[in-house]
Structure 1
Amino acid sequence: MELLLANPRGFCAGVNRAIAIVHQALERYQPPVYVLHEIVHNTHVIEELRQRGAVFVEELEEIPRGAVTIFSAHGVSRAIEERAKELGLRTIDATCPLVSKVHRRMIRLHSLGYDVLVIGHKGHPEVEGTCGQAEGPVHVLSQPVEIPGLRVTDPAKVGYVTQTTLSVDDTAELLKALRVRFPLISEPERTDICYATTNRQGAVRQLADAVDLVLIVGSKNSSNSNRLREVAELRQTPAYLIDHAGEIDPQWLAGVNRVGISAGASAPEHLVVEVVAWLQQHGAGEVVEMAGEEEHINFLVPDLQA
């Protein structure tokens, strides 16, 4: 049984930056340091940071007054920022710079009097943070069937932003339908779907065409990891999302000659190494790393002033 590794895979620049911010905050301010929501959506990353002294909470009211508080890579609404000030919290913003770029467009569209369509998954932290950037009409869309029921103030003044971790294929279909409904819709100069999401989906598309089974390493609540599994399945290749090697079912390997492996943007590489080791213990041999897009993007970690 041959193993093929997708390239690129795993951590993106925004995830690296967010994790580095938590590590530096712990070193500078000493534990406990509080984090509103999971800093990134990966159970192993969260547990490692928790062991170092990070405390993850779902509500600001759970945090003691004056404590150092980090906003996750997914971003938060303006209301959350204001509430943190009211509670006297010392905040550090770990929002991915590419998510912040979406926030700025959201604010600009509202300032121009546009209804804004936020294309993304309802309830996802990134979507909630984006919706909370400006006052005014906001509509969250997840699929094309929701478009006919949209009611906007002025069809000539409609713009959109997207969640950064969406399926490129699914979003293309939704945007096609939106352009029919709103011919004058304001679009970003470049897609809001981030480079890492696009690159990893492209790599899995190629991977799925070359193997009999795809394993995506990532947590169940990771949007970008779920999209990778869906990309493989759209190529008619069986695919499973696993948090770690222990979740592999040996029955999946029956009759399989080639296994493809990738990892979501919030999944650490050591988990991929463990999956490869598990498969080699169960009959796999050679490991081949596929060619792919080289990524050279790095985001500076800010000087932490909480």
Structure 2
Amino acid sequence: MTYSSKHFISDDQGGLMHGNAATKPSLKILLCAPRGFCAGVDRAIQIVELALRKYGAPVYVRHEIVHNKFVVESLRNKGAIFVEELDEIPVKDRPVIFSAHGVPKSVPEAAEQQNLFYLDATCPLVSKVHKEAMIHNKREREILLIGHAGHPEVIGTMGQLPAGAVTLIETAEDARAYEPKTDKQLAWISQTTLSVDDTTEIVRILKERFPDIAEPHKDDICYATTNRQEAVKDVAPHSDAVIVVGAPNSSNSQRLREVAERSGCKKAVLLQRAHEIDWADFDGIQTLGISAGASAPEVLVEEIVDAFRQHFEVTVETVTTAREDIAFNLPRELRDMGAAAE
């Protein structure tokens, strides 16, 4: 069920007061919901934690399991070792985990050649896009991938097929300029963490130019990305500033910041931790919107709210635009550990 911005749910979290409350200016924090961890991120982190419990440390993880420094450091402290390539792994008898962003086909093939035991933490919604790409290729379609060059998810998706089988479309200008390489039917797929509005514009252009282009049966942009963007759209017009908690290399977090700006908020910033707050940026504000990217844990949101309590007399209202109850299955090898942890 969806609620508009007029349906604020009160959620004043209290907290310790510092100094004389009367001397602090009032601040209303509009807390976006949903925010933070999505089911795919939660699953990926569980896979690392359960693998450490089942197999002991160290467990190797190829690439950051999710794009959040706090999460990565927490897992490193528990015994996870992060590498960028399999060749960096000095021993072959320890588990290797592939990140939530997905990997090219060449990676599990290389792992098998090296007799590595691996667990795939690829988000099931990313795996869905991989399958779509393979189906389009099997049907001899020319595939266009809407996404950002260099992002691990894009590298993984393009790596499901031979080089040249997928063409990357990054912008509306790319969509207008694209010329088919063959006379085959075109098909489009997309990165799961894009701006909904940007992708809609690109798809509109492609469909106008190529009316018979094949498209996903269900939108490739994941439910969590869409829901978090909708919540920010609801909050941003009512906020003097918006903070998105997330990492600079997190695509979905960057898109949330952009959505806040486009939705009418003059000041939208991306922060990883409370110590990054530039208090001059928030001087004189009365209403602050806060959201968090899908790989940002709630503890970091709480840290930033607590930091504002040091400077303002804070009330918190949660703005709920969607309810999420999705969960993804763990790999078979870890399901016994997952059941025991419940």
TM bin (shorter chain):
over 0.9
Q: Which residue of 1 aligns with 2:71?
A: 45
In 2, Cα distance between the equivalents of 1:211 and 1:5? 11
**SS of match in other structure, 2:208:** helix
Give 1:95-174 correspondences, 5 Å limit: 95-135=122-162, 137-174=165-202
Cα deviation, residue 148, structure 1:
4.0
Q: Secondary structure at the match of 1:22?
A: helix
Q: 1:189 Cα deviation (Å)?
A: 1.4
Of 86, 91, 100, 1:60 maps to 86
CA distance in 1, matches of 2:174, 2:183: 16
Partner of residue 228 from structure 2, selected from 193, 196, 200: 200
Q: Deviations over 1:252-274 (max 9, x none)?
A: 11221101101000000000011
Measure, in 2, the Cα distance between the counterparts of 1:22 and 1:83: 21
Give structure 2 stretches of 5+ with no counterpart.
1-26, 335-342
> What is the SS of the residue equivalent to 1:39?
coil
Deviations 1:62-104 (A, max 9, x none): 0122321000000111111111111221110000011111111
Looking at structure 2, the residues matched to 91 and 152 of structure 1 have their Cα atoms a distance apart, in angstroms, of 38
Q: What whole-Å deviation, never above 9, does each CA across 1:21-41 have from its counterpart, x for those lacking one?
A: 000100111111000000000
Alignment deviations for residues 239-292 of structure 1 (CA, whole Å, 9 cap, x no partner): 000001111111111221101101000000000011110001111411111122
Preserved contact between residue 64 and residue 82 of structure 2 (Cα < 8 Å): yes
User: CA-to-partner distance for each residue in 1:124-160, whole Å, 9 max, x for gaps?
Assistant: 0000100011236210111011134434333551101
Matches within 5 A, 1:213-228: 213-228=241-256
Structure 1 residue 45, shift from structure 2 partner: 0.2
1:289 corresponds in structure 2 to 318
Name the amino acid aligned to 1:86.
Q
Residue identity in the other structure for 2:269: Y
Which deviates more from structure 2 when the two are superposed, residues 63-72 or residues 3-12?
A: 63-72
Counterpart selection for 1:9 from 28, 35, 41: 35
Report if aligned partners of 1:120, 1:140 keep a CA contact under 8 Å in 2.
yes
Larger radius of gyration: 2
- Does the CA contact (< 8 Å) of 1:156 and 1:182 recur in 2? no
Q: TM-score, normalised by structure 1?
A: 0.97
Q: Does 1:300 align with 2:334?
A: no
Contact 1:118 1:140 in 2 (8 A): yes
User: What corresponds to 1:177 in structure 2?
Assistant: 205
User: CA-to-partner distance for each residue in 1:94-126, whole Å, 9 max, x for gaps?
Assistant: 000111111110000000111111110101000
In structure 1, distance between residues paired with 2:93 and 2:320: 49
The question of whether the paired residues in 2 share the 8 Å contact of 1:213 and 1:258 is answered with yes
Higher mean C-alpha deviation, range 29-38 or range 280-289: 280-289
Supply the distance in 2 between the matched residues of 1:126 and 1:145 (Cα, whole angstroms).
Answer: 22
Please name the residue that 2:281 is paired with: 252
State whether structure 2 residue 46 is matched by structure 1 residue 20. yes
- Of 68, 75, 82, the residue aligned with 2:109 is 82
Distance in 1, Cα, partners of 2:85 & 2:202: 33
Deviation at 1:302, TM superposition (A): 1.9
Distance in 1 separating the partners of 2:50 and 2:330: 9
My pick for the range that moved more, 151-160 or 78-87, is 151-160
Quote the Cα distance in structure 1 between the aligned partners of 2:178 and 2:320. Answer: 43
- Aligned residue in 2 for 1:265: 294
| Residue 59 (structure 1) shift | 0.9
Q: How much does 1:235 deviate?
A: 1.7
Counterpart code for 1:275: I
C-alpha displacement at 1:300, in angstroms?
A: 1.6
Mapped partners of 2:332, 2:132: distance in 1: 25
- CA-based RMSD of the aligned residues comes to 1.2
Contact 2:142 2:184 (8 Å CA) reproduced: no
Q: TM-score, normalised by structure 2?
A: 0.87
- Alpha-carbon spacing, 1:284–1:175, altered in 2? closer, same or farther (3 Å): farther
**Can you give the 5+ residue segments of structure 1 that lack an aligned partner in the other structure?**
none
Amino acid at match of 1:19: I
Secondary structure of the residue that 2:75 maps to in structure 1? helix
Could you tell me which of 202, 213, 230 is aligned with 2:258? 230
